[in-house]
Amino acid sequence: MERVPILKIGDILLVSIQVDMSDQTAIQLQEDLAERIVATGCHGVIIDITALDIVDSFVGRMLSTIASISKVLDAETVVVGMRPAVAITLVELGLSLNGIRTALNVERGMELVAASRADDWDEAADDEGTETTATA
């Protein structure tokens, strides 16, 4: 079984899926990612699917599950690089990719992760009623 590599870049884990995944490979990726999030304390996961020529219901469900697991482990998931034909097919298939944030490419995905972390800081500061400004 092939395994999808997970790269750490700063506070982000980057997964670029380059192989036609079997279902087992997809499940393994889910588990590997959860472990890496905890081991590294990263707050963002970017899954690059530029090389995927299809996303079927199994892979779609895997993406949703990864997003949910990351959330529980205090990390934000962004799926980037979906091909137009894949997007059209997904919609027709009836898959809504619930709870998944998407961006057009890795760069925008990283911006999205950074922005959502900044929002979290703002909210946390507001909750405490302090006047801390979140400029990290």
Partner 1 sequence: MTTGVDLGVPATQAIRSDEDVVRVRQLVRATAVSVRLSLVDQTKLVTAASELARNTLIYGGGGSAEVSTVSDGRRRGVRIVFADEGPGIPDLDLALTDGYTTGGGLGLGLSGARRLVDDFDIRTVVGEGTRITVTKWSR
Mark the segment that binds partner 1 (CB under 8 A) among 8-16, 42-50, 89-97, 107-115: 89-97
Q: Which is nearer to partner 1, 22 or 105 (CB)?
A: 22
Cβ 63 to partner 1, closest distance in Å?
A: 12
Cβ 85 to partner 1, closest distance in Å?
A: 4
Round to whole Å and give the CA distance between 105 and 59.
19
Residue 28 burial (CB count, 10 A)? 16
Residue whose C-alpha is closest to residue 101's, from 55, 69, 64: 64
Residue whose C-alpha is closest to residue 15's, from 99, 97, 100, 77: 77
Size of the site for partner 1 (CB under 8 A): 23
Chain residues binding partner 1 by CB under 8 A are 20-24, 53-58, 60-61, 83-86, 88-89, 92-95
